[in-house]
Amino acid sequence: MLNVHIYEKVKSEEHLNKLLQKEPLWELLTEPDFSNNLFHVAEHSDILKEMKPQSIEQLAAVLAIIRPAKRSLLGQPWDTVMKNVWTKPTDGSYYFKKAHAVAYAHAIVVHMNLICEEFYEQ
């Protein structure tokens, strides 16, 4: 797991597992009022709105697209993105490896579910 501030609100390992297993409300990623509060993607609501990720793997790909080496995939169909997003660039440009991006995507899902959980508890 990544050592980031969002885990401060996780009550237990059981709670973390529940947050990871719960399907998030993916459509919230297209709402800047929501996505601007999220760990690691807060400044990229325009990319989230355009790409509309609907799974951990797609969210991980969006995290890769944010990086310079894969920015050209922005706006491409998901099948094109998924065929090309994890290939290592030959020019040495900065990119996310799949394992790193997937770990961050899981952290974002935890964060999404925590925000929703807090909202519904109020």
User: pLDDT tens digit string along 91-105?
Assistant: 988 888 999 999 999
CA distance 87 to 98: 9
Identify the DSSP state of 68. G
pLDDT tens figures, 46-57: 999 999 999 999
pLDDT: is 92 or 4 the higher one? 92
SS3 98: helix
Q: Which domain holds residue 30?
A: 5-121
Q: Model-level pTM? A: 0.91
Q: How many domains does the chain have?
A: 1
**Closest C-alpha to 112, from 3, 24, 21:** 24
Interior/surface letters 66-101, b for 16+ CB within 10 angstroms, e for the rest = beebbeebeeeebeebeeebbeeeeeeeebbeeeeb
